[in-house]
């Protein structure tokens, strides 16, 4: 494949943006409708690509990727007029008489670099926001999910306005060439290591960046709960979300020593119900994306510090890149598995003396993208919400918070910066421009030199909100 001419692409997109075409409401609607048609008319092709890249079960492909992309498009189409309206805001005595508004304008030409684990949704969801806000966009899908990348390039090429919206396929050289260009915003989903490279490249041009990263998302399990429901929801968020290869998947569980037997029994029972006696053969679990990630996960399991800690699962099939749902108990804090985001089907359990200790345990580490708590104790719930800093929190379930378009989705600290979904996507790709409108009436002579004592008294009284002083100054006392 010929090397991409990133400079020429950006130049063309800048020309389109400069023409004013992408700012028009009609253009934005036409492009959002085209994206919606892609998701509606090519469901099978998209699901097949996801199956080829990740052996993603068809139902997961539909619910987590296709349906969420459709919902995102429909919401943007429904709300776009409202989002584009300037917000009227109050003015003060200082600028009287006047009106003021906050006018959302597009940033210009933006770059979206997407991830391989939800390669359809995480490519198009930010693009929806960028188009809704009136920008020109380059999408760089992940080469680690090549089938989906190729489908995106083909379909966007057929359906979208290619003078303003482009897909650039490729690997590190292509991404590097794109990052050398000047963008008006870069939106990156992936890991912290590459996030730092993106941020460094952006700094050369003072380009603002959204980083959607991951982290070790904890699940705290209290004792006074419905274990069956809790465990099913943990399984759905871990193994039922791309076999743990999800940025908000539960990374480890914290619970008390007394709680462990009950929790483990429930987990083993439900896992067998969901994935059968031989989960390596289950069609309802995604495979590990590639050999590199398979070896990375194997290394976490083969670490001397965790040998003998596996209490469930642990089976591996290297030829088919499959690892069964695996639970480890009491892994040491300095083991490899507790040092990095797992991003796979392994789930360690850490035990504490009392459930409140979990808050300190989580806060002693980097801020995660999500934190989960299962409890019926309102006081613990309040403490958790007040004291845990994470991208998002969810009480008595996992991962569902990202399906709500009314909530911002994004990280904090090591788990990222900036957020999107729904209105937040539009805002992420817009500049909030301050606009003040004045008339020629109401010109105050006291603003202008020469600065006499009388003018000083008047302005001081005006700015201090001193009505009596204002009257005195006006009548010359």
Catalytic residue IDs = 212
CA atoms within 13 A on the CB side of 185: 27
H or E segment and range at residue 75:
helix 67-84
Q: Buried b / exposed e across 256-273, counting CB within 10 Å, b at 16+?
A: beebbeebbebbbebbee
CB-CB contact of 151 with 41 (8 Å) = no
- Selection from 156, 178, 181 nearest residue 166 by Cα: 156
What span, in angstroms and rounded, lies between the C-alpha atoms of 369 and 157? 33
Distance of CA 248 to the CA centre of its chain: 9
CB-CB contact of 374 with 353 (8 Å) = no
What span, in angstroms and rounded, lies between the C-alpha atoms of 151 and 52? 12
CB-CB contact of 348 with 252 (8 Å) = yes
Q: Is 161 left (phi over 0), alpha (psi -120 to 50) or beta?
A: beta
CB-CB contact of 410 with 212 (8 Å) = yes
Burial grade of 214 (CB within 10 A; 0-12, 13-18, 19 or more): buried
Q: Give the 3-state secondary structure of residue 204.
A: coil
Task: Give the start-end residues of each E strand in 194-298.
Answer: 209-212, 218-221, 252-256
Distance of CA 470 to the CA centre of its chain: 52
């Amino acid at each position: 494949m010929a090397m991409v001419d990133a400079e020429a692409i950006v130049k063309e997109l800048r020309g389109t943006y400069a023409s004013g075409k992408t700012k028009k409401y009609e253009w934005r609607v036409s492009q959002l409708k085209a994206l919606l048609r892609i998701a509606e008319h090519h469901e099978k092709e998209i699901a097949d690509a996801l199956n080829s890249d990740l052996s993603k079960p068809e139902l997961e492909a539909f619910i987590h990727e296709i349906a969420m992309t459709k919902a995102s498009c429909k919401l943007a189409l429904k709300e776009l007029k409202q989002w584009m309206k300037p917000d009227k805001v109050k003015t003060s005595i200082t600028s009287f008489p006047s009106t003021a508004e906050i006018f959302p304008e597009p940033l210009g030409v933006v770059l979206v670099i997407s991830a391989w684990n939800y390669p359809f949704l995480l490519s198009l969801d930010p693009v929806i926001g960028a188009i809704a806000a009136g920008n020109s966009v380059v999408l760089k899908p992940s080469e680690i999910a090549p089938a989906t990348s190729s489908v995106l390039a083909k379909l966007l090429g057929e359906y979208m306005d290619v003078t303003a919206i482009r897909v650039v396929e490729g690997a590190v050289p292509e991404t590097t060439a794109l990052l050398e260009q000047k963008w008006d915003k870069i939106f990156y989903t992936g890991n912290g290591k590459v996030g730092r490279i993106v941020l460094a490249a952006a700094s050369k041009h003072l380009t603002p960046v959204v980083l959607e990263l991951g982290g070790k998302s904890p699940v705290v399990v209290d004792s006074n709960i419905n274990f069956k429901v809790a465990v099913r929801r943990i399984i759905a968020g871990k193994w039922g979300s791309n076999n743990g290869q999800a940025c908000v998947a539960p990374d480890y569980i914290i619970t008390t020593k007394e709680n462990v037997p009950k929790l483990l029994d429930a987990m083993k029972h439900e896992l067998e119900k969901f994935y059968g006696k031989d989960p390596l053969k289950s069609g309802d679990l995604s495979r590990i994306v590639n050999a590199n990630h398979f070896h990375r996960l194997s290394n976490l399991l083969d670490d001397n510090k965790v040998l003998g800690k596996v209490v469930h699962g642990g089976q591996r099939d290297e030829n088919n890149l499959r690892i069964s749902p695996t639970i480890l108990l009491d892994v040491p804090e300095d083991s490899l598995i507790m040092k990095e985001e797992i991003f796979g089907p392994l789930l360690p359990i850490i035990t504490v003396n009392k459930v409140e200790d979990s808050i300190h345990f989580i806060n002693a580490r980097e801020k995660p993208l999500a934190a989960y708590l299962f409890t019926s104790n309102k006081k613990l719930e309040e403490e958790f919400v007040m004291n845990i800093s994470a991208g998002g929190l969810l009480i008595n379930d996992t991962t569902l918070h990202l399906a709500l378009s009314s909530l911002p989705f994004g990280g904090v600290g090591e788990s990222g910066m900036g957020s999107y979904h729904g209105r937040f996507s539009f805002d992420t790709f817009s500049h909030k421009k301050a606009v003040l409108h004045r008339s020629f009436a109401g010109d105050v002579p006291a603003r202008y030199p020469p600065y006499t004592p009388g003018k000083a008294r008047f302005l001081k009284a005006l700015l201090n909100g001193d009505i009596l002083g204002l009257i005195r100054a006006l009548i010359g006392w």
